[in-house]
Each structure stands twice: as C-alpha cells, then as structure tokens.
Amino acid sequence: MNNGKILEVCINEGDLKQLANNISTASNLGARRFELCSNLHLGGLTPSLSAIDCAVKSLTNSAELVVMVRPEAGDFIVSAECYELMEKQITMAANAGAHGVVFGAVKRGELDLDVTRSLVATAKHYGLMVTFHRAFDTLTNPLSALDKLISLRVDRILTAGTPWQSGQSAVDGLNQINTYLAHSANQIEIVMGGGVTLDNAATLWQLINNYSAKAAVHVHSCVHNENGAINAEAIKKLLSKD
C-alpha cells in the first residue's frame, strides 16, 4: 500500500536474477516507479537491453519503469556523437517496453535547448514519459530552465535542490525544492532525490502534502541491503502512514 505516495526506486542493473527479485519485491510493496541504470558508481549510465527487458517483465501492481539514457560518464555536455547514441537508446528503451526515459543536456551552465527539444520529441514519438535528471542541479538559472522544460513537455525533473556533487541531500535543499514546487504550480512533477534516508524522507513527504504537489521521492541506498537486494522493511517504512 503506498498511501498515495509516489516512491521512485533507483535500481542498478547488476545481476539479472537479483534485478527481477528487487523490482517484483518493491513493486508488490507499493513502489510506483523504478529508474533503471547501470554503473551507479559513475552517476548512472544507460542499462543493457537485457536488463531493460528483465525489469519490464518483473513489474507488478501497475508500477512503471523509466530508463536512464546517458551513454558516458562525466559532465552533461552532449556531443553530436553522444546525441546519436542517446537517440538510439531512447528507441531501444521504447521497443523494450519502458514507460519513460531519463536524460539531461547542459551547455555552459545552461539548458542545452536544441538537444533537449530533439530528444524529448523522439521520446514523445514513442509515447514515453521524460525525466530531466540531476543535470538540472548544475544549471545557473534553474527557474528559467524549469519554464523551458515545461514548455518542451518534459514530465518530470529529478533534483536535490542542491548543487550537483555537493554532497548535500534533498533535505538540505528543501528551501530550493519549495521554490520549484511553488514556481512550477503542478505543471511538471518534481522528483526529490539525493541523500534520502528512512529518517529524513518524512520531511519530503510532508512538503509534498503541504503543496498537494505533483511530486515524488526518489531513493536508492536506503532501500538496498549491502548485497544489493531490496530491503522490504525499508520500503514498507517509506510508504507507511505518517
């Protein structure tokens, strides 16, 4: 039971048997969405086709799968070569049955409007939802970018409300997230992620309740055991009534 909460769980592809178990366990417990990545130690890269296929087949309870589209680690500048790969990876995710894709494109601290517009168009051609990932937290003028992303029909942004790689959590960025929620006025879903724990998640859920907001909480480490398996009790705690 999710009590109306939208919990998004970030999953590393890893071993396919464990991937299947993780997704079926968490979705049975009420997790609404999964972000599938590879190489999370590099900030998350595009997963393999076999992992996407496995994840799609493991979903239960009408849960959704969104797929990271990031061919290379490092900054979020999208070269012509990288762009071509991202186009192909969006197509791959769609053909494998994913519900959405996750990507970002930034140039000199600003939203790369041309690349973002084109990638969104490709995703929408296949009926995919689009999340602009934490490249958003590298932008020098996030409110202006937020307006542009809304106009481009991006469905969600993933943000901690704190600078990328600052080591700060989404709770540290609460005031900035509060600004995003007010500014976006439910025109785009704000997915709050980064350093979310079982102890601080309640603060984020409360913020969502205060706004009756189109928003979600994104977690990873706090719902996985040391061996990479989903911790069912952690999922239950995150989705319990406050």
Rounded distance, CA 4 to CA 208, Å? 11
Query: Residue 2 pLDDT > 70, yes or no?
Result: no
Which DSSP letter does residue 40 get?
A: G
Query: Residue 7 pLDDT > 60, yes or no?
Result: yes
Rounded distance, CA 202 to CA 168, Å? 17
Instruction: Give Cα separations from 211 to 26, 41, 112, 193 (angstroms).
Output: 26, 33, 30, 18
Residue at token pair 């109306």: 4
Find out whether 85 and 103 touch, Cβ atoms under 8 Å.
Answer: no
Mean pLDDT of 107-132: 97
Rounded distance, CA 152 to CA 130, Å? 10
Structure tokens given for 41: 């130690």
How do residues 53-80 score in pLDDT, each as one tens digit? 999 999 999 999 999 999 999 899 999 9
**pLDDT at position 189, please?**
96
Instruction: Give the closest residue to 9 by CA, choosing from 186, 169, 231.
Output: 231
How do residues 173-210 score in pLDDT, each as one tens digit? 999 999 999 999 999 999 999 999 999 999 999 999 88
Q: How many residues does the chain have?
A: 242
- Which residue type, as a one-letter code, is found at position 59? L
In a 10 Å sphere around its CB, with 0-12 CB exposed, 13-18 middle and 19+ buried, how is residue 217 labelled? buried
Single pTM value for the model: 0.96
CA Rg, the chain, in Å? 16
Q: What percentage of the chain carries pLDDT values higher than 70? A: 98
**pLDDT at position 1, please?**
52
**pLDDT at position 210, please?**
83
Domains, in order of start, for the chain: 7-239 (3.20.20.380)
Find out whether 177 and 206 touch, Cβ atoms under 8 Å.
Answer: no
